[in-house]
Structure 1
Amino acid sequence: MIINLYIMTRSVLLICFFILLLNEVFAKESVPTVQGFIGDSVVLQCHSGNVQLKSITAHWRYNDIKNVYDIEDGKVSIVDQDRVYRDRTEMFPAEYMKGNFSLKLGKLQNTDGGSYCCFIANIAYINKQQCTQLQIKEKPRGIQEKPDSNRGVESKAERIVSLLFHFFAVSILLCVL
């Protein structure tokens, strides 16, 4: 009876552990994080996929309140652009027809950290939204070369290796107990 209770407790703990880990993985996949350094540039990714666009309309917003960049019918519109982003944003018009609406944000400042969302309109009558969390850091001292602006994006392989490491650690602990 005591052995069955012990095995059942270990099983429940292991299941709870896996649920927590899977929840962490899916949370990280839903909103990617990109790190940028003060004074440098960063590219925030936005893709519509393989859908052919009839009318190219895309909007970038910061924390759902500031207008970062607009494309209306394939043309850049800076009329409503927040002044904080003037002369610091750039997109890649040659990539629009491929469904690439990534935004390059330059001269990064501490205040640039936050959530950036790309809204793509008129994709087969469905609107699409992609968000990225931008973290701003001080440049490390002693580094002369320009750091990789997307260094903070964690790959799926890195998450899987991290999960496997945790899984084996917990398995060993449970076997020892």
Structure 2
Amino acid sequence: MESWLCICFIVLFIDEVSLEKVEGSVGNSAVLPCRYDGQLQDLTAHWRYNDIKNVYDIQAGKESAKEQHPDYTSRTLVFSHEFVKGNFSLKLVNLLLTDEGTYCCYVIDINYQQCTYLSVKETPRTTGTRSEEKAERMNHGLDIKANEIVALLIPLLSVIIPLFI
């Protein structure tokens, strides 16, 4: 039990663990990277938001939005001509504040995963004082850090917990 707590404690203090960050602003677009070195044919890949929403699927090398969550309808693009080069990157258009979070690309056939944290900022406002804006940015930064920690803990705990059962 103590070793499990020690591992969780260490993970909480790991900063910037291979979680790529992409920034975007409301109404614009962002490209979420997913690249695997090597030539690939007809693979299956899934894009997920916070491991709960189906953002996009690539089934046997073909694009598929069949089971896509309604939040992403008509807002996703992939680069299908790049699949054979190992590029499964996703472009998310017309960004919303609710799009902020962790997006993971899972390439099933080769057991590969790449996650990206998307930070979405509001378009600049002309009202408000500098101190209000500074306080808002500081609070937003704490929210991002908490989301990153949770995104890192979920896969780690799914591996560690079975070891102690």
Return structure 1 stretches of 4+ with deviation > 4 angstroms.
none
CA distance in 2, matches of 1:36, 1:85: 16
Q: What is the TM-score normalised by the length of structure 2?
A: 0.65
Residues 137 and 62 (structure 1), Cα distance of their counterparts in 2 relative to 1, 3 Å cut? same
**Bigger CA radius of gyration:** 1
Structure 1 position 55, deviation (Å): 2.7
Kindly report which structure 2 residues correspond to 1:2-17, keeping only aligned pairs within 5 A, or say none: none
Deviations 1:31-51 (A, max 9, x none): 01111100000000001112x
Match of 1:41 among 29, 41, 54: 29
Kindly report which structure 2 residues correspond to 1:109-128, keeping only aligned pairs within 5 A, or say none: 109-123=96-110, 127-128=111-112
Which amino acid counterpart does residue 46 of structure 1 have in structure 2?
A: C
Which amino acid counterpart does residue 26 of structure 2 have in structure 1?
A: I
Q: What is the TM-score normalised by the length of structure 1?
A: 0.61
Identical aligned residues as a percent: 53
Tell me, what secondary structure is at the counterpart of 2:22?
strand
Gaps spanning 5+ residues in structure 1: where? Answer: 1-22, 143-177
Q: What do you get for the CA RMSD once the two structures are aligned? A: 1.8
CA distance in 1, matches of 2:17, 2:124: 27
Which amino acid counterpart does residue 98 of structure 2 have in structure 1?
A: T
Kindly report which structure 2 residues correspond to 1:1-177, keeping only aligned pairs within 5 A, or say none: 27-50=15-38, 52-123=39-110, 127-140=111-124
Count of aligned pairs between the two proteins: 115
Structure 1 position 105, deviation (Å): 0.1
Gaps spanning 5+ residues in structure 2: where? Answer: 1-12, 127-165
